[in-house]
Amino acid sequence: MCCKLSNAISILACLLAAAAALAQSSAQSSGSKGADAQTGEPRQAPQVVYTTPPKISVAKLRLGELEAHEVRAKVTFTLTAANYNDTVEGTLVFTIPEETRKKIAEVSGEPLTSIPASVSRKEVIAGFQKGTSCPVVSIGIGAMELDVAGAKLSFDRVVVAIIETPEAVPQHFCFWTRQINAKRQRRGVIASLNRLITVEP
């Protein structure tokens, strides 16, 4: 009888210890929701990467001493920052058409595989077109020149568009341009957009 009682007490003690450990684990889990499992630090919200839809833009391609000719290239703009002077910063990417790549390879004497399918420029500043608003917010980028395997690709001006959708970034741009057109304060929406598209260090 004594042994049975002792065994029962031991089992009960084990069950109570297991229940306590489970409760503590559950509390830690709920308390550290959104925290890094190893460091315990709060997890950073995922960065939202927003790229404008591809748009055809006309550029002039100069190959050595040959006369420059027009090239139609697809252009996209990936947003990296919103500025308080009503401009945005980002990376501009030009996708080079296959026939243009072949022409550059032919003139330069380089193999086609060495001619990039796209070229990019970081830290490009773009500004809103006057009076632009949703559903299509137009932003313009000034003249620039890019080097493509020795050839010069120059653009007088590039205009890309942010299309209104229910997503957070386009909605921020809709509100931002409404505030600009109404000559109202927009620091709040700019700060909010920066929190959305960047991760704090």
pLDDT at 193: 96
Q: How many helices (H) and strands (E) does the chain have?
A: 4, 8
Given this model, what pLDDT does residue 18 score? Answer: 40
pLDDT of residue 33: 39
Rounded distance, CA 163 to CA 180, Å? 17
Residue 144 forms part of a structural domain:
yes
Burial class (CB in 10 A: 0-12, 13-18, 19+), 138: middle
**Separation CA 99–CA 145 (nearest Å):** 20
Task: List the single range of 71-80, 81-90, 100-109, 153-162 with lowest mean pLDDT.
Answer: 100-109
Q: What is the pTM of this model?
A: 0.73
Residues 7-25 pLDDT 10s? 444 444 443 444 444 334 3
Asked if the structure places residue 150 within a domain, the reply is: yes
Q: Is residue 77 part of a domain?
A: yes
The predicted model gives 33-48 an average pLDDT of: 53
Q: Which residues form the domain of 97?
A: 55-197
Q: Has residue 3 been placed in a domain?
A: no
Q: How many domains does the chain have?
A: 1
Query: Of 16 and 164, which is predicted with more confidence?
Result: 164
Reported as a single tens digit per residue, the pLDDT across 175-193 is 999 999 999 999 999 999 9
Q: Which of 13-17, 35-39, 80-84 has the highest mean pLDDT?
A: 80-84
Lowest mean pLDDT among 1-15, 104-118, 155-169: 1-15
189 within some domain: yes
Residue 11 forms part of a structural domain: no
